[in-house]
Chains A and B, each alone.
Chain A
Amino acid sequence: MHGRIRTWGPGALVLLPTVLLLGYFVYGLIGSTFNTSLTNKHNARPVPTKHVGFENYVNLFGEDRFLNSLKNLGVLTVAFIVGTLIFGVLWALLLEKGVTGEGIFRSIFLFPMAVSMIASGVVWGWLLNPSQGDDARGLNRLFDLLHLNFLENPWWTAGSRWTTMASIALPAVWQLSGYIMALFLAGFRGIPGELREAARVDGASEFKLYRYVLFPQLSPIALSALIILGHMSLKLFDLIYAITGPNQFRTEVPSVYMWNTLLRSDMAKAAGIAIVLLAVVAVLVIPYVAYTVRQETEE
């Protein structure tokens, strides 16, 4: 036993600070947020608070504004994931066989990823200016110049939930499609060339080659991409803050609503929103983490 401790003891010791830090700053603080969400701390006054059970959650799910923010988030997530996957996979497909100047295309498609969402939001807020007609600005003005006036639209400021949230998703798609492209490009390049050869020798058409041979190989990448994008979308805050400002009912998602709630010093409610957000993320991520760790163990 002493010998075993000597072998693995130092390793455990190296990890100890991290485990303690994360134990407090991740798991402990989550516990603390959860605890706050069960209290009646609804203002900044330092009066003693008491536990009220799940009252805040019951109120949240009975509140139109919160349900609106959840619906906005759902639509945003769908628009963002679908848009990013379409662009990313398409770009990967176009580049996959090798084109002249591939490196340039790749670099340009990827660069928005380096830019902060605040900077990108500043620019896209300008591009998504809702004015139309003679006073059109931003993209609407460009459409006007190109005589594509039918494309002019009020972006996030009017219209249905779908057009509103798709307008918010557009800059996010612009930023992250390159990343999905890189992921799939690496996937395509990782498939052994023999597989393609074999399919072509067997007389498979290009379509069939992709449909039955290449794409099935990439389904694990697609899963990763889905988890990554979904989890980014749930936390999206900066872009909305920069494009519409935080106080817009039309584009409010839970992360933004939480911020607005905090500004009114309603700690209990803000904590409740945060915990709901965490729960949604956890539903997505915990199976994924479990699967990952199990697979690692098997190897």
Chain B
Amino acid sequence: MTVVDASAATGKAAAAISRKPQRSTISDGSTRKSRTVRYILLLLFLLFVLTPVYVVLITSFKTSSDTTAAAQWSLPHTWTLEPWRKAWDVLQPYMVRSLSLAVPAAIIASLIGSANGFVLARWRFPGANLVFAFILFGMFIPYQAVMLPLRQTYQELDVTRGIPTLLITHVIYGIPICTLIFRNYYATVVPNEIIESARVDGAGLIQTYARIILPISISGFVVTLIWQFTSVWNDFLFALFLTQQNNGPVTLGLAALAGGQKVDYAASMAGALITSFPTLLVYILLGRWFIGGLMAGALKG
């Protein structure tokens, strides 16, 4: 499996997971004992994954006198929403900025990626593979290798660093992954005959794309939108480097809330939950597509 197959045409991978296991008619090779062991192990791992969740939740409802070492793992004596209110007061402007950043960044990068992907998959030209490699490598570069001159570029252009510059940045560095996802999507989902017959009928590239391709691209878009939204929302490095505390996105807000000299643990935990809420919502509502996005996109850190 290559990078390209790993992304396995988005939904295809997710579908493969959701597929029912192929039970053998002879025996599935497991005894009752081994099945019991399997469930016990699974439950133990579930505990490992959920322990941090328990801690965040209970802590976020505690009064500050309740977060002593001794009481850390017990339920709150008195439940309070105060930490949530406190965290929300700090984070609210950051949340608004992150939304106004992540939504357009995801849409624009997806649109460009879709057009690129279509050309690379179905409207090939001499040297297309070279261009493909050129774009593909862009997906892997560490941001550290570009962020210094990037900041300088914005400085020379005399733009104030903030959400708009961050948005442009995320669109540009999001194009490679979106292109890859759509390229694989179109290579596997769109039958060649459709394109060919459109060509025979004299449809040009734009017509073919607009009339035939876009309408069948919805599931591709769902995946790139989820992927881009999540990675832009969760980005910290570019945010730290290209914005300031007072005009930055939500990861900066959370880092500020949870850092500093006197850490309010309850408010930090509530803040971690508040800032995770949009991506978790996407995960819960669009879980199946989220997996597809992960399969396609976790390549880009």
Contact with B along A102-120 (1 / 0, CB 8 A): 0001111111111111111
B298 touches A97 (CB 8 A): no
- Minimum CB distance partner of A258 in chain B: B144
A238 touches B125 (CB 8 A): no
Residues of A close to B215: CB separation below 8 A: none
A15 touches B119 (CB 8 A): yes
Residues of A close to B21: CB separation below 8 A: 96-98, 189
A131 touches B69 (CB 8 A): yes
- Minimum CB distance partner of B46 in chain A: A108
A127 to chain B, nearest CB (A): 6
The 9 closest A-B pairs by CB, nearest first: A8-B125, A193-B22, A116-B234, A220-B1, A98-B21, A32-B149, A10-B205, A114-B283, A11-B123
Residues of A close to B81: CB separation below 8 A: none
Q: How many A-B Cβ pairs are below 8 Å?
A: 320
Contact of B1 among A22, A182, A224 (CB under 8 A): A224
**Complex CA distance for A6 and B169, rounded to whole angstroms:** 33
B49 touches A112 (CB 8 A): yes
**Complex CA distance for A51 and B21, rounded to whole angstroms:** 62
* A142 contacts B by Cβ under 8 Å: yes
* A60 contacts B by Cβ under 8 Å: no
B133 touches A193 (CB 8 A): no
* B132 contacts A by Cβ under 8 Å: yes
B284 to chain A, nearest CB (A): 8
A289 touches B133 (CB 8 A): yes
Chain B contact residues, majority secondary structure: helix
* A48 contacts B by Cβ under 8 Å: no
A293 touches B142 (CB 8 A): no
* B282 contacts A by Cβ under 8 Å: yes
* B189 contacts A by Cβ under 8 Å: no
Chain A contact residues, majority secondary structure: helix
Contact with B along A55-94 (1 / 0, CB 8 A): 0000000000000000000000000000000010011001
Interface positions, chain A 173-232, Cβ under 8 Å from B, are 174, 176, 178-179, 182-183, 185-187, 189-190, 192-193, 196-197, 200-201, 206, 209, 220-221, 223-224, 227-228, 231-232
Size of A's binding interface in residues, CB under 8 A: 119
**Complex CA distance for A10 and B209, rounded to whole angstroms:** 11
A118 touches B301 (CB 8 A): no
A182 touches B146 (CB 8 A): no
Looking at B6, B52, B144, B147, the one whose CB has the most chain A CB atoms below 10 A away is B144
- Minimum CB distance partner of B35 in chain A: A99
Contact of B258 among A26, A142, A242, A281 (CB under 8 A): A242
**Complex CA distance for A258 and B301, rounded to whole angstroms:** 18
Contact of B42 among A25, A99, A122 (CB under 8 A): A99
A94 touches B236 (CB 8 A): no
Contact of A293 among B133, B236, B255 (CB under 8 A): B133
Contact of A200 among B8, B24, B280 (CB under 8 A): B24
* A291 contacts B by Cβ under 8 Å: yes
B280 touches A115 (CB 8 A): yes
A116-B236, A174-B52, A289-B137 are known; give 7 further A-B pairs, CB within 8 A. Answer: A97-B29, A109-B49, A114-B283, A174-B49, A281-B140, A293-B133, A296-B4
* B299 contacts A by Cβ under 8 Å: yes
B148 touches A33 (CB 8 A): yes
Looking at B8, B49, B118, B176, the one whose CB has the most chain A CB atoms below 10 A away is B49
A255 touches B144 (CB 8 A): yes
A-B contact pairs, 21 of them (CB 8 A): A12-B125, A22-B134, A32-B152, A33-B148, A97-B29, A99-B35, A108-B46, A109-B49, A116-B233, A118-B236, A174-B52, A182-B294, A186-B14, A197-B26, A200-B26, A235-B144, A238-B237, A271-B148, A278-B141, A278-B144, A292-B3
